[in-house]
Amino acid sequence: MANSIAAAFLSALVDRHFQRSQGQDFREDDPLDKTVQKILSAPDDELLEALAGAIKESGIQELSIIVDGLQENIVCLLFELIRDATPKSEILLTTQHPFGEIPHGVTYIEYDKERKGLHIRYSPV
């Protein structure tokens, strides 16, 4: 199943890239690591949409995910897409910086407060 998720993820990214740039960046003689770097240089929203699409396509019914160090707007988009792809998902957010609004159903740990025993904050139900 992991291989099919990875294949769906990469396929979605490559398809979007070709739509955006007509595939001019890819060359057959490029080393594999260079090709992967080109794929992963896609905008954050495309990466997240490809991930959510791959998860949904795989048919996974339950998912646990830990997210660390993403910007707040990216985290909110990720959670929205993951919830749509897998309604029974558990998400743990960790960060070094205070977060404004935490998406519904997310467990949040802020590093500095972790050491002080004030570390877990749940989103409002």
Give the model's pLDDT for residue 118: 54
Place of tokens 């990214």: 13
Give the model's pLDDT for residue 125: 47
The one-character DSSP state at 65 is E
- Phi first, then psi, for residue 41 (nearest 5°) are -85, 10
Residue 120: both structure tokens together: 């877990």
Query: What average pLDDT does the structure give for the chain?
Result: 76
Confidence of residue 23 (pLDDT cuts 50, 70, 90): low
| Mean pLDDT across 85-92 | 84
Residue 13: both structure tokens together: 């990214």
Tell me the pTM: 0.66
* DSSP character string of 24-40: TT--TTS-HHHHHHHHH
Confidence of residue 123 (pLDDT cuts 50, 70, 90): low
- Phi first, then psi, for residue 7 (nearest 5°) are -65, -40
| Mean pLDDT across 86-95 | 82
Residue 27: both structure tokens together: 């060359």
Give the model's pLDDT for residue 106: 76
Residue 80 · residue 49 · CB < 8 Å: no
Positive or negative torsion for Cα 6, 7, 8, 12: positive
Alpha-carbon distance 18 to 82, whole Å? Answer: 24
